[in-house]
Amino acid sequence: MRKFIRSRLPSSDSIRKISWLQPVEHWLRHPNLWHLHRRSVAGGVALGLFCGLVPGPLQMLSAALLAIWLRVNLPVALFTTFYTNPFTIVPLYLFAYQIGVWVLGEGDVANVRDFPKLHLHDWFDSLWNWLVSLGEPILIGLPILAVSLALIGYILVRLGWRLMVVWKWKHRKSH
């Protein structure tokens, strides 16, 4: 699996040679940003799941900056943010709202039902105004959901990686 993923990822050298990345090239030198080992990949998945819930077009930028700062796998962190897309973002935000309502013990369900009709030319503004109208429950629920998804992703990758290693050891011993 690791060979398959490694063959699909760009090399660190090819990334560092991109002309518009030259001002930050020195930040991209850390080996953990590119190596596929359990800590770096698990951290990249957790970071991508967390940053995937960042509103607007800042998901990949925040994932890249945090991956460089925390020195986790950069391509994995960027790729993992794609779990949020136009089909999944509304259900995820509604779930975050429900978490916020549950934590606060209150909430105005009418705001959730007033979902705007999205038009091609102003869908982002309409969606943003609707989210702002949700208020406190969404502000509390989003960070809780983001941290929860990040923890679950981190644990599942670490556990899955460990199980795969143990399986390979047993398989190797039997032959």
For 39-81, write each residue's pLDDT tens digit: 999 999 999 999 999 977 789 999 999 999 999 999 999 999 9
Domain of 77 in residue numbering reads as 2-86+136-174
Cα separations in angstroms, 47 against 60, 93, 129, 173: 10, 18, 27, 36
- The pLDDT of residue 119 is 60
- Is residue 127 in some structural domain? no
Tell me whether residue 43 is in a domain: yes
Structurally, how many domains does the chain consist of? 1
User: What pLDDT is stored for residue 71 in this prediction?
Assistant: 92
> What is the structure's pLDDT at 33?
81
Report the pLDDT value the prediction gives residue 48, as an integer from 0 to 100.
97
What is the pTM (predicted TM-score) of this model?
A: 0.76
The answer on pLDDT for 101 being more than 80 is yes
Residue 4 has pLDDT above 70, yes or no: no
159 occurs within a structural domain: yes
Mean pLDDT of the 94-108 span:
84
- Other Cβ atoms less than 10 A from the Cβ of 41: the count is 24
The dihedral built from the CA positions of residue 94, 95, 96 and 102, taken in this order, carries a sign that is positive
